[in-house]
Amino acid sequence: MSASGLACVIAAIVLLVTDVAHLSLRAAAGDARLMATLYHVPTSRSLRVLWTLEEIGATVEVKSLGVRPRLQEPEYLAINPAGTLPALIDGDRAIYESLAICEYLAARHGSDLIVAPDEPERPEFVQWLLYGEATLQAPLSATARVRRIRNTTPEMQAGIDAVLSDARHSLSMRVKLLEQRLEGRDFLVAGRMTLADISVGYPLNNMGKPDFASLLGPRATAYRERLLARPAFQRAAAVP
């Protein structure tokens, strides 16, 4: 083979290897447009999902059910028999837990919002990922449910007031963990923004009223302000 012919073969191999590398990178990064549908209501846990999508630069079809969703109607119950939000439909796959949806989308996109199993702070990541829902959001959800009760008798109101007082006390104790964790940290784990911050950021956003916000210490207050000032959160919160 002549020198010029050999050069052409080498150039072709280089181009082939380069193309394969580019394909691999695209596959690892995921598609910016994910062919999935998210059922959403403003202020619901679907906000976590929208926030995650904004952080990773991906989009899905969003079906907003309005400020007064009809979650018990047959059409929506056919999608999610529990009648809860959010719901993500991706082909034949249906996912109903907000943090499971966030993890699914971030993993599919190859995002470092997930702390990988081989990273040192993986156990802490899992703990704070669950803390946001199981520990911090739980008393807030109880408060929201009880406050929706109308036409109460004095006896019922006394019971409601007791539940609200207990929920507030519980929340005041639970946020101490967060205040302690944030000493010397901008984010909860791994020195970067992760799904743990999105998990915790959702109930922190719900603590905007003065009677709840006053429970936060100075580090948690500053952390809340940083999270809610992120452009990704602002865009997600603006989705109707």
Over residues 113-143, the pLDDT tens digits come to 999 999 999 999 999 999 999 999 999 999 9
pLDDT at 166 exceeding the cut of 70: yes
Identify the CATH assignment for 33-108 out of 3.40.50.720, 2.130.10.10, 3.40.30.10, 3.40.50.2300. Answer: 3.40.30.10
Q: Is the omega angle on the peptide bond into residue 86 within 30 degrees of 0, that is, cis?
A: yes
Q: Where are the domain boundaries for CATH 3.40.30.10 in the chain?
A: 33-108
pTM of the model: 0.85
The overall longest dimension of the chain from CA atoms, in Å, is: 99
CB within 8 A of 221, min separation 6: which ones?
Answer: 213
- CATH code for the structural domain at 122-237: 1.20.1050.10
Q: Where are the domain boundaries for CATH 1.20.1050.10 in the chain?
A: 122-237
- CA triplet 203, 224, 184: central angle to 5 degrees? 120
Residue 70: band (very low, low, confident or very high) from pLDDT cuts 50, 70, 90:
confident
Average pLDDT over residues 175-182: 98
**How many angstroms separate the CA atoms of 152 and 124, rounded?**
43
Average pLDDT over residues 169-177: 98
